[in-house]
Structure 1
């Protein structure tokens, strides 16, 4: 057993804000991987202790060199390991003996190289777990804290320029992507505080690091690039922390195609989760997914702000009619509303704008801005006072000499910093440095109007959705109601498929099933036949038969007792099951309605995922389904229903009555509660079809199939 490092379990300051740093394998060559961190630390003015370790040298880059990590003081905050993979494990063990708080492994040759490397990396994970020493990497490019100037990376991103400390954090499994994002935004006027490349993540990973960094009062937004997700609960905790602190997290997660998943796995040595599930989980827990590095970088300009918008109503003010129209199209495409101004606003705009200008939304002040240099400045406060407007977008064409640029900028900056509405600028062909000046003064500004609208739309979506409560249901324990527990105890099986009767019985406490009649012989069928309301359906009932129709185990539209007895004997004579096991289920024949499928998918990373789909051929041919993460609210259920391709049929078309969407939504909510309460024993659930009847008549579960993973007794904590 390795010695435990003396540090708090969730205190990551040893590698994010180190005061003492050692480099094993340190080089005199500042251009090499093992030499560049020393050069950065010296050049940028790191004030802590630096310990180069290399037995070949007396001094390295002007600093005293040490033969071994054993020659250093105990309790070093951070040790960088930049040596061959074969020597990493031995050096880690020495670090543990020296009570090193954290290690960062630049070395490659681990899980990204295949099975042999994966075994070696597993040793690293075991050392971290047993010792309590934090380990970043292997195969990583390091970490930078721009505030305390601990630039412990070999990335070329820091070769040139000065450090601009800011309120964002860039965290990436890929060092190259982290460098791209940093280079894209280091000169945009906003700055960053943390930069990290985590590589293969044998121990420390991005979700844990991000959750910790969100607590930093200097940080307002976290930007993440990750190719794999190993622990779903950590992503969920990150989402909850983001919600709790009202600090957004932007996530770029590639791997939508099978080829991309394979490439990501070879890069970091990790398996990728199914993308459609990842997308839904991120959305459910309030993490903002972006599509590319441009969005990951550009969105931070607006997401770093503390100002939150209350809605999606946009006013556009431009000196170019064409630019204004293009921005309108993009706003409509992305779900923003081009709001109608109040009558008071229209009247006030009419009084200040030239007669040929538009005072409707979007407002085009035209080239008259050259003659009346205060047009934009005069229109802005009118829009700031319009109660219908949440967001004001400026679309500025090339504005050069002849315009009062400084005055225009000052008025926009003052409005953004002193008013309630969000003000953003798209400035096409701007003068050098002007966009950056806006961003330095908390006005999100972009040279690309499309990126401007995309960023604002994403931010508006985040603000509007951020009011949703996130409950912690991610537990692997089993809990159930007493009635349900009693029923589970009566089941003859505790793993595998249940019969339809048992499936419906288990489900009945959450979703009303209706009358079920279970018969084991002809005498019981004959007895129950006189009590039925015809027509009815007769089905074979067995855990061994999941696809009843295919074996002739279903008889529909039975009109009377005689037909029922004939159907029973016909089905029994097919010898589908041994006579001792033969049972039938008799239920009402449900009237025609719209078919919906409701199911449970057990994702290996994130746990239970609910699927709502159009029934019949629609799910197979049109792939008409939506995923939901339990717990599901009525609002989320209705949204999923309305987003189905076939949803217009539920609302009634061509004179047909609308279906009972309200009851369907409630059934989805109840189903999510059922899934959560029984998560520990459920492997699969398929309710297909559920018939949605006309409005006011409810829904009917026609068929149900449940597969258990474990017994309730085993999981009853």
Structure 2
């Protein structure tokens, strides 16, 4: 952690500019919180109208303090806030938290004031948090430079969770939900408008707290993706899971995020790909973050996804099986020896196969859970355990059920969760630290998340070898023409259709014979990147004469459009089993981004695509393809042969390497369609468009 971030999260002294005697006002809360929760450093109230604030000597200004504090809270508004920040910078304050609003979130004028204020602070060596922030809180040392009401509503307790949020409201909500589940929280930080310090910066700092075992983030934009990627890499090294909420999934949400924090929205598919690539798990809201927290804090990192379901109800076994399929958790195929062992411990009418129905015999024999769990735990097929208790109460020894489950979990270290909607049944399990939920949907959702996130955190991305930037043809136009685009791809090992660029009808006639009819005839001009819209593509051209006639017609059409007459492409008519598209672009936030999916003329309408962040390999592409709606076609359906997925993956990797090698040269690559044949028949690019940066 840098010294400047340390000065905010572990300050030795804090000044409160705009300090209040009233603990229910924004200027009074931080002083009250710090004194109540054991802050050992010095607190300097700044209020020229008072000699004392909450029992502490008050000062007229930051300049009047006996020392330059590590941290200052700016709780005055408008121009006074800007002046206070400048005074802090001049005094040598290391960090300032600007609570005041009315800056970047209020419009262009506010953004300009905010930027100038942050620039002056940075020039003086001071880090700025906010403005428009609810502040920072470290319950490990009592440094609470914030005013959230939630710290009154739900008493703090130090613990192994860190929360870093752009939104003050969402940071408080996550804190409240976690505390409501009995979990301790150490860090609760909000970055507001992020004029300087971002969520990514604070996440880096919190990740270096050795006592933090789970990191929760809320973002409305990703202002510093490089730092977030660095944080995620460090977190994976120390086995620290990161669960993120990224708001602004929809167009409406993106607009709302912009008005909320003055941020720019990130394209949502790219956000998903970025998180997956860096092992960050994305959820929809703070409720989902809090729901899974207990399971993560157990330290469970399952090796697989195979599930064992145990219940005292046959119906619950059926519903558990249904839910397991929905969450992609296959029921474990228990060995014959395991089934025999389980059967020997159950009454004869119980079910020893998975799901295991121990029946209402549990009422008369409270040790059945304790008997069955160890027997199943030895089976190598069992990765995850789910206990569903739909009904219990008087006559059931629920304390024994909970004790047996806790002993099993402690002895094996295997993930086990419980569903129990009755509060009296759930309580003993919760008291023993067993993650307990109201239904199988919540319980299995958490197990599925845990298994999937563990796999993400363990993925390894081998770096791509450095290659020289591609050499683009001379010219200043936005696009390369089709012949140039295909030539560039071919030069980088990507298979392209046989074709010729023709400059006369005679050349078109010869080209038709060379490529072998039927052929495709397409006008070639960088000024007309989308040729079909202008009638400049002819398919199934069945003679040399027709190719020559089409040359004349398309050449004239280019002249009518006022477009550069760069030639006409005559290409082989290549067929495949299925059309795919591959695209790549330089995203202004994430850098190179690659897209693969269902291709052809309906690609924009259907949008069955996957997004990848480099570097990736063929296995990564294949995994992404399995998430498409057309994934069943990859292995062949209704008697059709499987597709040559390996060839398609090779094309995607090659396109990714090309865009990554040209950050200042190529803005985007559009390859559509890629004709993919049956397994062993390869893949062929039949059309391409490269855009200059």
Q: TM-score, normalised by structure 1?
A: 0.90
Aligned equivalent of 2:682: 698
Aligned equivalent of 2:448: 457
Q: Residues 377-392 of structure 1: matches in 2 within 5 Å? A: 377-392=370-385
Matched, 1:624 2:608: yes
Aligned equivalent of 2:527: 544
1:454-482, CA deviations, whole angstroms, 9 ceiling, x for partnerless residues?
A: 11111110112322114568x9xxx7438
Aligned equivalent of 2:329: 336
Structure 2: where are the runs of 5+ without partners? none
Asked whether the 8 Å contact 2:583–2:670 carries over to 1, the reply is yes
1:254-280, CA deviations, whole angstroms, 9 ceiling, x for partnerless residues?
A: 222222222222222222222232222
Aligned equivalent of 1:634: 618
Classify the secondary structure of the residue corresponding to 2:559: coil
Aligned equivalent of 2:428: 434
Among 338, 343, 350, the alignment partner of 1:345 is 338
Displacement of 1:121 in angstroms is 1.3
Displacement of 1:50 in angstroms is 1.0
Displacement of 1:573 in angstroms is 4.7
Asked whether the 8 Å contact 2:510–2:544 carries over to 1, the reply is no
Residues 258/571 of structure 1: CA separation in 2 closer, same or farther (3 Å cut): closer
1:378-437, CA deviations, whole angstroms, 9 ceiling, x for partnerless residues?
A: 111112211110111222345445444444333322322331422222232133853542
Asked whether the 8 Å contact 2:86–2:117 carries over to 1, the reply is no
C-alpha distance in structure 2 between counterparts of 1:201 and 1:59, whole Å? 33
Displacement of 1:137 in angstroms is 1.2
Aligned equivalent of 2:437: 446
C-alpha distance in structure 1 between counterparts of 2:500 and 2:251, whole Å? 47
Residues 702/215 of structure 1: CA separation in 2 closer, same or farther (3 Å cut): same
Aligned equivalent of 1:507: 489
1:28-66, CA deviations, whole angstroms, 9 ceiling, x for partnerless residues?
A: 111111001111111222221111111111111111111
Aligned equivalent of 1:712: none
Residues 121/436 of structure 1: CA separation in 2 closer, same or farther (3 Å cut): farther
Query: What count of residue pairs does the alignment treat as equivalent?
Result: 690
Q: Residues 505-654 of structure 1: matches in 2 within 5 Å? A: 505-508=487-490, 509-522=492-505, 524-525=507-508, 531-574=514-557, 576=559, 581-654=565-638
C-alpha distance in structure 2 between counterparts of 1:411 and 1:705, whole Å? 64
Asked whether the 8 Å contact 1:497–1:543 carries over to 2, the reply is yes
Matched, 1:202 2:195: yes
Among 91, 95, 109, the alignment partner of 2:102 is 109
C-alpha distance in structure 2 between counterparts of 1:292 and 1:161, whole Å? 20
Asked whether the 8 Å contact 1:664–1:698 carries over to 2, the reply is yes
Report the more deviating stretch, 649-658 or 419-428. 649-658
Q: Residues 44-83 of structure 1: matches in 2 within 5 Å? A: 44-83=37-76
Q: Residues 78-89 of structure 1: matches in 2 within 5 Å? A: 78-89=71-82
Aligned equivalent of 1:481: 468
Asked whether the 8 Å contact 1:398–1:430 carries over to 2, the reply is no
Report the more deviating stretch, 139-148 or 532-541. 532-541
C-alpha distance in structure 2 between counterparts of 1:364 and 1:652, whole Å? 38
Asked whether the 8 Å contact 2:497–2:686 carries over to 1, the reply is no
Displacement of 1:529 in angstroms is 6.3
Among 176, 180, 191, the alignment partner of 1:183 is 176
C-alpha distance in structure 2 between counterparts of 1:109 and 1:552, whole Å? 53
Among 31, 35, 39, the alignment partner of 2:32 is 39
1:267-300, CA deviations, whole angstroms, 9 ceiling, x for partnerless residues?
A: 2222222223222221222111111221111111
C-alpha distance in structure 1 between counterparts of 2:557 and 2:97, whole Å? 68
Residues 405/530 of structure 1: CA separation in 2 closer, same or farther (3 Å cut): closer
C-alpha distance in structure 1 between counterparts of 2:131 and 2:549, whole Å? 71
Report the more deviating stretch, 679-688 or 615-624. 615-624
Classify the secondary structure of the residue corresponding to 1:338: coil
C-alpha distance in structure 1 between counterparts of 2:405 and 2:512, whole Å? 79
C-alpha distance in structure 1 between counterparts of 2:331 and 2:535, whole Å? 58
Structure 1: where are the runs of 5+ without partners? 1-7, 710-717
Displacement of 1:145 in angstroms is 1.3
Aligned equivalent of 1:4: none
Q: Residues 268-287 of structure 1: matches in 2 within 5 Å? A: 268-287=261-280
Asked whether the 8 Å contact 2:592–2:656 carries over to 1, the reply is no
Asked whether the 8 Å contact 1:223–1:300 carries over to 2, the reply is no
Aligned equivalent of 1:670: 654
C-alpha distance in structure 2 between counterparts of 1:580 and 1:170, whole Å? 57
C-alpha distance in structure 2 between counterparts of 1:555 and 1:425, whole Å? 63
Residues 18/417 of structure 1: CA separation in 2 closer, same or farther (3 Å cut): farther
Report the more deviating stretch, 636-645 or 134-143. 636-645
1:594-628, CA deviations, whole angstroms, 9 ceiling, x for partnerless residues?
A: 22121124433222322223223442443322222
Residues 532/189 of structure 1: CA separation in 2 closer, same or farther (3 Å cut): closer
1:68-93, CA deviations, whole angstroms, 9 ceiling, x for partnerless residues?
A: 11121334121111111211122112
Aligned equivalent of 1:90: 83
